[in-house]
Amino acid sequence: MNAQQKLRAPSRWRAWEIALWVLIWATPVVFAQHAALVNEIAILALFALSLDLILGYAGIVSLGHAAFFGVGAYGASLFAKHVMPDPLVGLVVGTVLGAVLGVLTSPMIVRGTDLTRLMVTMGIALVLLELANKFDNITGGADGLQGVVMGPVVVPFIGRFDFDLGARVASFYSLGVLFVAFLLLRRIVHSPLGISLQALRDNRLRVSAIGLSVQGRLAAVYTLGAALAGAAGALLAQTTGFASLDAFEFHRSADVMLALVIGGAGWLWGGLIGAIAFKVMHDLLSAFTPQYWTFWIGLFLVVLMLVGREKLFRPWTWWRRGSK
Amino acid sequence: MLTLLFDGIAYGMLLFVLSLGLAVTMGLMNFINLAHGAFAMAGGYVLVVLMQQAGWPFLACLPAAFIVTAAAGALFERTLYRPMYGKPHLDQVLFSIGLTFMAVAAVDYVIGSQQQNVQLPDVFRHRFEFGTGAWQLGMGAYRLFIVVVCIGLALLLQALLSRTRFGSRLRAAVDDPRVAAGLGIPVNRVFLVTFAVGSGLAGLGGALGADILGLDPSFPLKFMVYFLIVCAVGGTSSITGPLVAALVLGIADVMGKYYAPKLGAFIVYVLMIAILLWRPQGLFTREGGR
Amino acid sequence: MITRRQHFATLALAAAAAASAGLAQAQSDTVKIGVILPMTGQSASTGRQIDAAIKLWVAQNGSKAGGKKVEVIIKDDAGVADTTRRLAQELVVNDKVVALAGFGLTPLALATAPIATQSKTPMVVMAAGTSSITEASPFVVRTSFTLPQAAVSIAEWAAKNKIRKVVTLVTDFGPGNDAEKFFVSQFQLNGGTIAEKLRTPLRSPDFAPVLQKVRDAAPDALFVFLPSGQGAQFMKQFGERGLDKAGIKLIATGDVTDDDQLNDMGDVALGVVTAQHYSAAHPSAMNKKFVADFQAAAKFRPNFMAVGGYDGMRVIYKALDASKGAGGEALLAGMKGQLFESPRGQVLIDAQTRDVVHDIYIRKVEKKDGQLWNIEFDVQKAVKDPGKLK
């Protein structure tokens, strides 16, 4: 293979990727009983994908990603309640709001150390939580925003689909948005921008040394991640019919980070696989021991970190000593 | 107004004792240890268990809380934390979150999730009041006790740091571990002792604060933010930095909740973000420090 | 608009399908009840109490009602409304439950109400206390209580007992708003003055600064509403700040002197006057047996949440008897209008509002046999939810 072919190779669709996507699209039918869970997995996967962009590809450690999620959720719900109940338009509103917040906060995250960034991102999520709580005449405060009735999803040339009790339509809707986001990110990651992002993650100093704008790239990727997180939040609000302060809570930021780490940050499938693994594990463990799910996930994390994150998905390295 | 100031100072001093271990760990080992709150919680539960099950008097339980959590800290450092030192910060964050989850669930399982009630000895239930009206200064005896203990600890630690050999070894190791090791300072042992003492302080703080802050399995998750704020704002290379940061945080929190209750916690977060944007390295870091 | 009509048609179809499914299910031998409780998280004590109460009911009354075998499925939502809604959806669609029950907090009940309406499944609220919950769906039946009932009663009592100036302190959410609104209006109606209205956040409240404010306002009494579980921390701070010594009486709704935590609060709780529908010290034969059996099985004292769960099961069982094991509208009709004796006293499920009508007792915390109890000394009979009358 010459250099050009080698560089292009990752961007081609592999057979297993296509197969996986076919399987994914089939889940709301195959697992019709668990369509609500499939919906939640799709939303978490989108959320994790958005975090992957800023964490896996740009190296920004953020414990406050829920800020964008919550903004998207409340934005979409308020839009549906007061303006129009069309889900697709509401989705766009949620995404745009996420992006706006991302643009506003990106100057804050480019400065300082890892710890500072951690604190600032957490702080932003906490501030938004308090704001949502304070303006409870708009947001419903601790009781949550009730009374959001969504209209049908209008897919051109295919038809109108109302949200049903069995969550079938909801899961297909979320999967659709996830798929579009996945395609979009695939294009970006394999573009020059994407490659420069990976360089940024690996060595920021060198990137600026070769004349690329670090601030601009960081801001761009942060905004895009924020926009996608906003979309995920909008999906949650639309498919469940309400929005609550829980969307801003720390555990949301922590959960999505866990899901991403389980799946592996730095590659696109990481978010999806991690979301599936996380939610399924949660559902299974909660059925046995509702309280002690946190214990086992904590243990899993500790072991995973001690062993080494990258090693989990490369089983052949488990027995090879001395390799990185 | 003065009462509020006093309350804020008491709260701040408590936060200081709780956060100091975290600050030193971060400054010394460059390790973001989010499980610090779990050590604090452990200290609180040691106090509760000893008082309720074994009938120990309150004052005897405080040193016990310190010793038990210090020992636990030493054990964990040697076995679990040491392999994590060189790893990227994200791994450390996730590792310590994992430990925290385990601690929270373990406590929930063994003891249960209800709020723990600490029965303070009667001598602490008094209240001293001076003056009247807006300038009245009311000091609860317990809060006074906390302030005195924490000031004592701060002075003791400062003396340890600047007057003892261990202290100078610690300061050397913080500035540059490699050169320190090259000079023959047993850096690993310094780390171990420091981590143990830091965790012990957290445990003591948790025991002291159990009455005021409340104690239940979600304690680490609730208060971790505050500890991190103290470290981020106060910097990690001295004792005075976190002290001042903790006092500011405590006073701002209490005043905020009194004068602007609708905003309350919001003020603290905005303040923190503002300070971090102005001085990303923290308010008190020396130039060139990490 | 076509869209809305289509939407309506789809809903109607879904409802018809669910109803027929419900009827089809009634042909089989088992009926299932889906109980969603916060077994973990902030409101875990509520979940614990109701869970124990349900187990006690089944142990005492068996697993048969309406000629069918009854299976109770208990799920944990950890107090997160998204989870409650998803669990309710799964219970209705997958397990085909004939009734939903539980709901530890207002937002959890409100989030589930649309599902009850859509699937025509009666929803028995055993814990949440905001007035508007029963209006969220025609299928909501409540066996717990409403805050306005207690708030209005204590306001009456206060006005008649030389309390002129009051500061109110409530938690900032649905039941808190209800408590404040109705206490204030009733108290002012009787000629009292409200010096200040204070709020604390639902999560991790810090009582020190707000109690300082109370101290500064120097009222005759402080009226408090806090959710179940925060009472102990509050009482400690109240004592520590010297408010009782400064002559400020503490009056509250019974959630503050929750039987679950009361005994651990210590002597600082003595003398606190509260209004509520249930005290574990209620001197009726049925209650004595209830408390004894409950403590024998669960090792802790039952509180007002437990009695809501116990009575909720009673309502469901008797309704199943009336509907001969069917669900849907028939089951709902069987629930409305039930009049029975409960460990708390007499209870009526109002046929119009589907809300609970019961006696509200005024109690004082006293020590009996070395333990703290809420001893009832006055009663307001058959209090309807004032929130519906307005």
* Shared-domain flag, residues C225 and C253: yes
* Shared-domain flag, residues A192 and A110: yes
* Contact (CB, 8 A) for A119 and B276: yes
Q: Do B228 and A118 touch (CB under 8 A)?
A: yes
- Among C357, C316, C375, C387, CA closest to C144: C357
| Least reliable range by pLDDT among A314-318, B10-14, B282-286 | A314-318
* Shared-domain flag, residues A300 and A176: no
- When computed from its CA atoms, the radius of gyration of chain A, rounded to whole angstroms, is 20
Q: Is residue B162 in a domain?
A: yes
Distance CA B11, CA C208 (A): 10
Give the pLDDT of chain A (324 residues) as one tens digit per residue.
577 776 666 667 888 888 888 888 888 888 877 888 889 899 999 999 999 988 887 778 888 899 999 999 999 999 988 888 888 888 999 999 999 999 998 888 877 677 778 888 888 898 888 888 878 778 877 777 877 778 888 877 777 777 777 778 888 889 999 999 999 988 888 888 888 887 877 777 888 888 888 888 888 889 999 999 999 999 999 888 888 888 888 888 888 988 888 888 878 888 899 999 898 888 887 777 656 677 888 888 888 888 876 655 555 555 544 433
pTM comes to 0.82
C262 min Cα distance to partner chain A (Å): 25
Q: Is residue A9 in a domain?
A: no
Instruction: Give the rounded distance of the alpha carbon of C252 from its chain centre.
Output: 16
Q: Is residue A190 in a domain?
A: yes
Q: Is residue A272 in a domain?
A: yes
- Helix, strand, or coil here: B123? helix
Instruction: Give the rounded distance of the alpha carbon of C328 from its chain centre.
Output: 23
pLDDT of residue B205: 92
Q: Is residue B270 in a domain?
A: no
CATH of the domain at A43: 1.10.3470
* Contact (CB, 8 A) for C271 and C257: no
Distance CA A100, CA A106 (A): 10
* Contact (CB, 8 A) for C284 and C291: no
Q: Quick one: DSSP state of residue A243? A: B
Instruction: Give the rounded distance of the alpha carbon of A233 from its chain centre.
Output: 9
Q: Do A291 and C119 touch (CB under 8 A)?
A: no
* Contact (CB, 8 A) for B100 and B228: no
Q: Do C210 and B115 touch (CB under 8 A)?
A: no
A143 min Cα distance to partner chain C (Å): 5
Phi-psi region of A299 (alpha: psi -120 to 50; beta: other; left: phi over 0): alpha
Q: Do B94 and A305 touch (CB under 8 A)?
A: yes
Chain B residues in contact with C264 by the CB 8 A cut-off are 117
In DSSP terms, B46 is beta-bridged to none
Distance CA A97, CA B114 (A): 39
* Contact (CB, 8 A) for A170 and A35: yes
Question: Which chains sit next to C, with 3 or more Cβ pairs under 8 A?
Answer: A, B
* Shared-domain flag, residues A226 and A305: no
pLDDT of residue C11: 42
Q: What is the SS3 assignment for A160-194?
A: EECCCCCCHHHHHHHHHHHHHHHHHHHHHHCCHHH
Q: Is residue A208 in a domain?
A: yes
Q: Give residue B24's domain range.
A: 2-224
Query: Looking at residues B117-136, what average pLDDT do you find?
Result: 76
* Shared-domain flag, residues C242 and C378: yes
- Option in A133, A240, A286 nearest C76 (CB): A286
Distance CA A144, CA C174 (A): 10
* Shared-domain flag, residues A296 and A273: no
* Shared-domain flag, residues A182 and A323: no
A191 min Cα distance to partner chain C (Å): 38
* Contact (CB, 8 A) for A240 and C85: yes
CB pairs under 8 A between B and C: 67
* Shared-domain flag, residues A274 and A126: yes
pLDDT of residue B94: 86
pLDDT at B67 over 80: yes
pLDDT of residue A321: 46
Q: Helices A214-240 and C81-93 meet at what angle, rounded to 10?
A: 40
- Chain B contact for C209 (CB, 8 A cutoff): yes
Q: Give residue A247's domain range.
A: 22-287
Distance CA C246, CA C321 (A): 56
* Shared-domain flag, residues A299 and A262: no
pLDDT at C7 over 50: no
- Structural domains counted in chain A: 2
Q: Is residue A144 in a domain?
A: yes
Measured distance between the N- and C-terminal CA atoms of chain A, rounded to whole angstroms: 27
Q: Is residue A140 in a domain?
A: yes
CATH of the domain at C48: 3.40.50.2300
* Shared-domain flag, residues A300 and A267: no
Q: Give residue C177's domain range.
A: 148-276+360-389
Amino acid at A156: P
**A55: closest chain B residue by CA:** B90
Q: Is residue B267 in a domain?
A: no
Distance CA C95, CA C97 (A): 5
Q: Is residue A4 in a domain?
A: no
- Structural domains counted in chain C: 2
- Structural domains counted in chain B: 1
Q: Do C44 and B7 touch (CB under 8 A)?
A: no
Q: Do A61 and B84 touch (CB under 8 A)?
A: no
B280-283 own/partner pairs: CB under 8 Å, 24+ apart:
B280/A111, B280/A112, B280/A113, B280/A116, B281/A112, B281/A113, B281/A116, B281/B235, B282/A116, B282/B231, B282/B232, B282/B233, B282/B234, B282/B235, B282/B236, B282/B241, B282/B245, B283/B233, B283/B234, B283/B235, B283/B241, B283/B244, B283/B245
pLDDT band, residue B290 (cuts 50/70/90): very low
* Shared-domain flag, residues C263 and C340: no
pLDDT at C229 over 90: no
* Shared-domain flag, residues A153 and A295: no
* Shared-domain flag, residues A282 and A295: no
- Option in A115, A126, A130 nearest B232 (CB): A115
pLDDT of residue B287: 44
Phi-psi region of C365 (alpha: psi -120 to 50; beta: other; left: phi over 0): beta
- Option in A34, A136, A143 nearest C110 (CB): A143
Percent of chain B with pLDDT over 90: 21
* Shared-domain flag, residues C252 and C349: no
Query: Looking at residues B260-285, what average pLDDT do you find?
Result: 75
A78 min Cα distance to partner chain C (Å): 16
* Shared-domain flag, residues A94 and A193: yes
Distance CA B230, CA B248 (A): 9
Q: Is residue A154 in a domain?
A: yes
Chain B residues in contact with C232 by the CB 8 A cut-off are 115, 117
Q: Helices B240-259 and B2-29 meet at what angle, rounded to 10?
A: 140
* Shared-domain flag, residues A182 and A299: no
pLDDT at C190 over 70: yes
Distance CA A154, CA A248 (A): 29
Q: What is the dihedral of CA C170, C171, C174, C176, to 10 degrees?
A: -20
- Among B222, B240, B221, B227, CA closest to B283: B240
Q: Is residue B230 in a domain?
A: no
- Option in C86, C130, C174 nearest A36 (CB): C86
Chain C residues in contact with A74 by the CB 8 A cut-off are none
Chain A residues in contact with C82 by the CB 8 A cut-off are 236, 240, 244, 246
Q: Is residue B86 in a domain?
A: yes
Contacting A with CB below 8 Å, chain C residues are 3, 6-7, 10-11, 14, 18, 39-40, 76, 78, 80-82, 85-86, 89-90, 92-94, 106-107, 110-111, 114-115, 118-119, 130, 136, 172-174, 201-202
**C174: closest chain A residue by CA:** A143
- ipTM (interface pTM): 0.80
* Length of chain B, in residues: 290
* Shared-domain flag, residues C230 and C166: yes
Q: Do C111 and A146 touch (CB under 8 A)?
A: yes
Contacting C with CB below 8 Å, chain B residues are 3-4, 7, 11, 108, 113-115, 117, 119, 125, 127, 129, 134, 138, 140, 142, 211-212, 214, 218, 222, 253-255, 257-258, 261-262, 264-265
| Least reliable range by pLDDT among B48-52, B111-115, B172-176, B250-254 | B111-115
* Contact (CB, 8 A) for A129 and A245: yes
- Among B202, B200, B207, B219, CA closest to B59: B207
pLDDT at C5 over 50: no
